[in-house]
Structures are given as structure tokens and as C-alpha cells.
Structure 1
């Protein structure tokens, strides 16, 4: 009876796992290579296809800025690819405009962009030497250098067209930002009227036909008493119109008794 071949089990057990590991590594490498190849092919196809291009931009929250203004600010190149857009950088570019308070840029669908903007509150306009400027709620002035079209349809400040010193206007704007918004609604026009010894004197023309003389330093506190003074004058003299002096002291002066006409103000004419 011949001797049968002897197989050493230890050697057998040690080699089989190695072979399996090598086969597994080869399979993983092939799978990884195939996956990367598919991703590369897919990326190339996507980039070369029309679906990768920015096809539409939607704008939200625009009142004073125009869509063309925002496009210029965003610095988005023509025929941009969606994959090349830096949303954070676009937001930063738009935020540099003083009219912008907040901005959000987000992708919608595969090739559309949504730009949402929150603009600062506009209190009115001021007529200066070079034209109209917006007066914002944070006391900022925006002129034509920011390529926005000023349409001054609300409160307008006159009398500063030839004024070289900007300090009186800056101080006054800071003061009106602290005023009650309800009170601002009854003012139809403001005029800068400095006098000797008081370079911060303004006249407020109200929709009820009165004029209020104020000083920028004290106007916020003194205007709190305006309605009380009006009520007292009405109680004593009826619907009598005139000038309320709140710049120095606090007293009422009726308009000239020789004429019932109120002083002519520039808001009676259209402002373009």
C-alpha cells in the first residue's frame, strides 16, 4: 500500500488568507479606479453641457437698487459656470454697497441663482451741490457715485447746495435718526437756515401747515413738546398756524396777520 501525500495544514491555512487579501485588494482597486473614471467622465460631461452654465438669476428685496446695480456689484462674469461661482465672495461684493444691510446668495435647481437683499431704511433725500443724495437710517449719505438713480419722492432737505462744511448735515441726520418715525411722517420738507451764532439751525415744514425751528443738538428732546404746544395754541386761538420756535427757548409766533398764505416751500414743486 503506497504512502499518500501529506499536506501540512499550518502552511495551507497560512497561504489561503493571503491569496484572498490580494484578490480583495485587486477588486477594491479596480472598483475605485472605475468609480473615479466615472466621476471624471461625468464631471467633464457636466462642465461641457449647457446645464452647468448659470442660466437665471432671481432677485428679492430690491426697492432702491436695481437688478443691473446688483449684477455690477456681484462681479459675476458672463457665461459663468455654476461650479466656478463663489457664493461667499458674491455676498461680500454686494455687501460693500452702503445701501445693503444683509445679503444672501443661494443656488436653486441646477443652474439658477437667488440673490436676496435687505436694504437699509431711507429717511429721505438731501439736495447738495452735485445733486440729490439718499439719507439712510444709519445716518449714511448715498450719492450718485454709487450708481443708483435717486427718486426723491418723500422727505427732502434743502439749503445745503452751497454749503462746504458737511458737519451741520451730519449732525442733523444723526439727530433725525433718533426721532419718532411717526413724527417724521408729518414733516414734508426740511430747510437748512443757519443764523449768526447758530450753524445747526433747521426749519421743519409740517403737513399741518406749521413751521418748527430747531437746533440739531436739542431737537430730539424739544420736539417731544411740539404736540402739547399745538394743542395749547388750538385751545386758545383755534386753528391758528405759525412758527414754533424750539431752537432757542420754546414759543409760538403766528404767521403774518397781513396774509393768510403760508410760506412757499420747495416741496410744493415736483422733484425729479
Structure 2
């Protein structure tokens, strides 16, 4: 109080007025900014800018881009905000040949879909058609083909049952380089062994084996092959131990043992 008059704080402290004014301006700016952002969002959401402009699909072999986009139910008219990645992944994962799917939104208007598929490890011969067999053991009845497959071994004379099941399980355990070297696998059961098979290799050799020990013994095929002369072709017997018999060898001659067989002894 000065000379009997009451002096306000604002008059005594001018800086306080200035601070309050600055606070009020900041609030106004924030409100205006939020207002314009909301308007911009509404305009973007309603405009073609928010629609999917590109769909990128990676890793697909068994299914075409068209098939995947139809299953995902995405078109150029789809609003980006309506793309539900988890729902699309669930639909794609229901397909027998897809092991996993990853859907991502890339702003401003792109949908990326990465596909991971099960590998086809063999084909089953059914008359004049071939049924793919996946690495998880599933046989694709609906994906049969009349063309002779060249990218996986073909199983002949197999029918539904334990031998086929064990054959697929053993193929899953083979190293890729060994699996890719097999052309045909024929189910040739004997009176003494219901699990006997005969293989025809891409290199011209034949293999006689038993399904139950097939994966374990066949994994040594590259090592056995390295001990043979490149021009020498014949039958490699893996039923008991392992030995090689050349095609030109006479019936009465003793088969030559491989080093692998000597190691087992």
C-alpha cells in the first residue's frame, strides 16, 4: 500500500502479466494446432490419399500374387486404416503350404506381405499324376500335377500307411544336398523286410536301403561317393553296413566294401 492506495500485484510485478499472456498464447496455438491436425486427418481419411496404392508380396512360390491379394481381400480401393494385419496373417496361415505370414503397413499407402512357405520335399506317384509332399508331412491332394517333378524325389508304389509316414519323416532329416541328389524312391518290400526301398540317384547310381535306417545311413552318401571313381556306377547297399557293387560286376564276384562299411566293422 502506497499513500493509502492498494497496488495490485500485476502493477508491482509487470513480468507476471507477460508470463500469463505467453501461457495464454501457447494454449491458443496448441488448440489451433490440434484443430488443424484433426481437419487434416479427416481430409486424409476421406480422400484417395488414404487408399492402398501398392501391395508388395515377398517369398511366395506356391501361391501367386493374385491369389494372396484375393485371400487378404486388399484392393486399390481399400482404405489403409481398414487393413487389419493380424486378420490377414490368420487367413494366410490357414493355407497348407504357408508356414508363416507377416503383414506390415508402410506409410503413406503401401501394404507389405512377407510369406514363408513349407518346402516340397517329395512327390507321390498316383497313376499319371504326382502329389506334392510338404516338409511337415502333409500330402497336397488338391495340388496334384501331371508333369514329372524335377525339384524333388518322386515316391513310387507307396500307399497310405506306416511305410509312407516313416519315409516322409526320414526325408525331412536328410541334408539338402543329399535330398536334391535323389531322383526316384521305389517302395520294394521283401518277405524278410517290409520296409525295403530302392533309390535311383541323379548321378546314375542306385541305392538299396531300409526306411527305418534310411536318414541315418543316407546322410553319409557324399562320403561314400567320394571313395568311388567318378566314372564308376553301380548299386550302393545300405541295408546292413554299406558296400558298392558296380553294374558291370559279375553275379558271382564278391562285392567291394566301401570305407564306410569298414569303419562300422
TM-score, with length taken from structure 1? 0.68
Alignment pair present for 1:207 and 2:202: yes
The CA deviation at 1:157 is 1.4
SS at match of 1:90: helix
Alignment pair present for 1:141 and 2:138: yes
Alignment pair present for 1:90 and 2:88: yes
Alignment pair present for 1:184 and 2:179: yes
Alignment pair present for 1:62 and 2:60: yes
For structure 1, which runs of at least 5 residues remain unmatched after alignment? Answer: 259-272
Deviates more, 1:191-200 or 1:34-43: 191-200
Q: Which residue of 2 aligns with 1:124?
A: 122
Inter-partner Cα distance in structure 2 for 1:13 and 1:245: 108
Inter-partner Cα distance in structure 1 for 2:146 and 2:182: 20
Residues 8/64 of structure 1: CA separation in 2 closer, same or farther (3 Å cut): same
Residue by residue over 1:205-224, the C-alpha shift from the partner in whole angstroms, topping out at 9 and shown as x without a partner, is 11333322222211123335
SS at match of 2:173: coil
The CA deviation at 1:25 is 7.0
SS at match of 1:177: helix
Q: Which residue of 2 aligns with 1:43?
A: 41
Deviates more, 1:221-230 or 1:84-93: 221-230
Inter-partner Cα distance in structure 2 for 1:120 and 1:97: 11
Inter-partner Cα distance in structure 2 for 1:175 and 1:22: 80
For structure 2, which runs of at least 5 residues remain unmatched after alignment? Answer: 251-265
TM-score, with length taken from structure 2? 0.69
Inter-partner Cα distance in structure 2 for 1:148 and 1:48: 46
The CA deviation at 1:179 is 2.1
| Residue 171 (structure 1) aligned to one of 166, 175, 192 | 166
In 1, are the aligned partners of 2:129 and 2:145 still within 8 Å (CA)? Answer: no
Listed as ranges, the matches of 1:1-272 within 5 Å are 6-9=4-7, 27=25, 30-76=28-74, 79-128=77-126, 132-136=130-134, 138-145=135-142, 152-154=149-151, 155-160=153-158, 163-165=159-161, 167-196=162-191, 198-223=193-218, 239=232, 241=234, 243-247=235-239
Deviates more, 1:50-59 or 1:13-22: 13-22
The CA deviation at 1:12 is 6.2
Matched residue pairs, number?
A: 247
The CA deviation at 1:204 is 0.8
Inter-partner Cα distance in structure 1 for 2:146 and 2:94: 19
The RMSD of aligned alpha carbons is 4.2
Residue by residue over 1:197-242, the C-alpha shift from the partner in whole angstroms, topping out at 9 and shown as x without a partner, is 544332211133332222221112333565777788879xx8463x
Instruction: Choose between structure 1 and 2 for higher RCO, CA contacts under 8 A separated by at least 6 residues.
Output: 1
Deviates more, 1:8-17 or 1:127-136: 8-17
Residues 28/227 of structure 1: CA separation in 2 closer, same or farther (3 Å cut): closer
Inter-partner Cα distance in structure 1 for 2:19 and 2:221: 91
Deviates more, 1:148-157 or 1:39-48: 148-157
The CA deviation at 1:74 is 2.7
